[in-house]
Amino acid sequence: MSSLTETAEKIKNMEIRGAGRIARAAALALKEEALSVPAKDIGEFNAKMREAFRTLYTTRPTAVSLPNALRIVMRYKADNVEDARRQIAANADAFIAGSEHAVQQIGEIGARRLRDGDTIMTHCNSSAAAAILTAAFRQGKRINVIATETRPRMQGLITVDVLAKAGVPTTLILDSAVRYFMKKVDTVVVGADAITVNGNLINKIGTSQLALAAHEARVPFMVAAETYKFSPRTLLGELVEIEERDPAEVLPPEKRKQWPGLTVRNPAFDITPHQYIDLICTEIGAIPPEMAFWVITEKLGWEIEEPGDEAARGI
């Protein structure tokens, strides 16, 4: 198996997961492909890179960081293979370094919003959200975190592990206990898989329930999202596709056999309307969700294209 197909497989089966990590892994895989793929001329090279782009693009549909990263890395213009290889490698390196730096910056910017003694609820496992929590704790704020389990993949346990290693006092709860604990919460902090042009958030299934419970209890709801998680294609009114994963993640096939007519559904993400979001913490500052349009048009400023268009045009 080539390193590109291996990365694609790992993204699909969630060995590599988390919107930011998926983007960095895909950028690295494209770079390695560009540096190693045999090609006798630029035409053959472009065709092979287009194929690589598609293999990675189709691994998981929801996290917009993936297509955004792929497009950034594939922005090259070369008339010979060596030059193309160099440009792709440089693009990938710059994206990966910028992405890691963005997570750190979000940590610093978001931590300013948390106060000494705060209890913060989080959901799933988000590196950007965890960066905020650990940065606040490092600054000496005595925070407590409530982390949800996040069925069915239990990413909450990754969050628990990250916070335990950083020394942050943490309580693990069932996903269904969110509303029960919300009255004890000062702020909710979650990550993002995608943010639409009108500021809606697509994140791990259950996020919208946290938002609803927070809204009811008048608890501020903060999102941690690098700017490459904003979706340019939603400018055209396109909806972000919600990934529906294998029902076996919810109910093992051997148990399911008992009820042959049973339907099991497993959507991996849900949509939180912008009305329930107080702040989106990005590497360029903390913004209200209504500024998503500005981030997409001014900061990202990308052409909206079909996947692979860049390569199809031979650049």
Q: Is 193 in the active site?
A: yes
Residue list 200-219, contact with ligand RI2 (CB under 6 A): 203-204
Out of 87, 105, 126, 208, the residue judged to bind ligand RI2 by CB under 6 A: 126
Question: Using CB under 6 A, which of the segments 24-32, 87-95, 189-197, 258-266 binds ligand RI2?
Answer: 189-197
Out of 7, 8, 17, 279, the residue judged to bind ligand RI2 by CB under 6 A: 17
Least separation in angstroms between residue 219's CB and ligand RI2 is 18
Q: According to the binding rule CB under 6 A, does residue 193 interact with ligand RI2?
A: yes
Q: According to the binding rule CB under 6 A, does residue 155 interact with ligand RI2?
A: yes
Determine contact, residues 127/20, Cβ cutoff 8 Å: yes
Out of 7, 20, 25, 195, the residue judged to bind ligand RI2 by CB under 6 A: 20
Judged by beta carbon, residue 32 or residue 193, the one nearer ligand RI2 is 193
Q: According to the binding rule CB under 6 A, does residue 55 interact with ligand RI2?
A: no
Least separation in angstroms between residue 19's CB and ligand RI2 is 4
Judged by beta carbon, residue 110 or residue 191, the one nearer ligand RI2 is 191
Choose the catalytic residue: 118, 124, 278, 281: 124
Choose the catalytic residue: 118, 193, 278, 281: 193
Q: Is 281 in the active site?
A: no
Out of 34, 92, 128, 277, the residue judged to bind ligand RI2 by CB under 6 A: 128
Q: According to the binding rule CB under 6 A, does residue 268 interact with ligand RI2?
A: yes
What count of other Cβ atoms lies within 10 Å of the Cβ of residue 48?
Answer: 16
Q: According to the binding rule CB under 6 A, does residue 156 interact with ligand RI2?
A: no
Q: Which two tokens stand for residue 15?
A: 């060995």
Q: Distance between CA atoms of 11 and 19, rounded to whole angstroms?
A: 10
Provide the binding-site residues for ligand RI2, judged by CB under 6 A.
17-21, 124, 126-128, 155, 190-193, 203-204, 268
List the catalytic residues.
Answer: 124, 193
